[in-house]
Chains A and B, each alone.
Chain A
Amino acid sequence: MRVNKKEALRYLGFSQLEPDSQTEAILNACLPALENAAAFKYTLREFPIAVSENSIMLNGDVIKSRALSIHLKTCTHCLLFCATLGSGVDTLIKAYSKTDMPACLVLHACAASLLESAVDNVQDELRQAYAKRGLCLCERFSPGYGDFSLSYQQTLLRILDAAKTIGLSCTEKSMLVPLKSITAIIGITNSEPTTNSRGCSSCTLNKTCLYKKPAIENLN
């Protein structure tokens, strides 16, 4: 499992520019510790869903979100998915926050990028597996996107039994712990998936965001 350095640098603000040599040196120095501390784990499960205008019905639970409904409008099933880098990364980042803030910041960015690429890899494998059955997967959609409330973290984690299977739970205020973790719903459809709703171009902050990807990468 490797960190995508380019993505990590983008999180640090170097989206269009070359990083300075020191930042790059810190990044290279941090990577072994991070890759050693990270224990990527995920779990998932498929469910039939019923999509209506403002909500979806899944495993007997109703999830109210217009954005999610639009995203899943052609789907009959979905995958509930969650993943984490584990608590070792949290401890590492916290230790660095006491001794070396620049490295701590860089570690944050590297961990975020590591998680994203690990999840992307899993998703690619799933996409191929489902393609064999003539099915397409939508992009993942997580609590916190649009009007899909963070309070659904609890619901998703409960259905997946995530605390037991991968050690992922959430706090009273619906924060995932360990911190570098993801939960998501991935729609399954037998028609073309809805337009990409993950890229920068579809985001409401796309005019002002500091972390926006350069236009060329943003095409996908």
Chain B
Amino acid sequence: MVGVKKKMVTLVSSDGVEFVVEKRVAEQSLFIKNALNEGGVEEKVMIPIPKVTSDTLSSVLEYCEKHASATEFQENEIEEWDKEYIEKADLDLLYYLLQASYSMSIMGLMELGAKKVASLIRGKSPQEIRELFNIKNDFTPEQEEEIRREMQWNYE
């Protein structure tokens, strides 16, 4: 009987920071899971995570760690944890979490982030949304008119 040695992988963020995590944690990302399967390499794997900075990756891995152990918790405990986790993310982090979960294929995190952003948008006017998300209105008056006209044919 060999002592159970946890399989580890090393993830490298876009700004060059290395994160050594358990394989089962990293595999919460389908992108990494596929990369590991294709490589067929067992140990000392280095996986670059493009476009994800160390700040974001550290938060993403916090999520992955919790969800890799999901079976140890009651379902509502995980729900509560998710809620707190996403509550404490500011708009910047939310943005990067969404992009990262999308590029790393972490479905649960993508859902969680998208739901949170949707709740921030709900019921707001276009101007309020632009202010909240710091978006510039890049329509020309003609283009705005075009959208309206496209809508109007339904009423002809």
**Do chains A and B stick together as partners?**
no
**Chain B residues in contact with chain A, CB under 8 A?**
none
**Chain A residues in contact with chain B, CB under 8 A?**
none
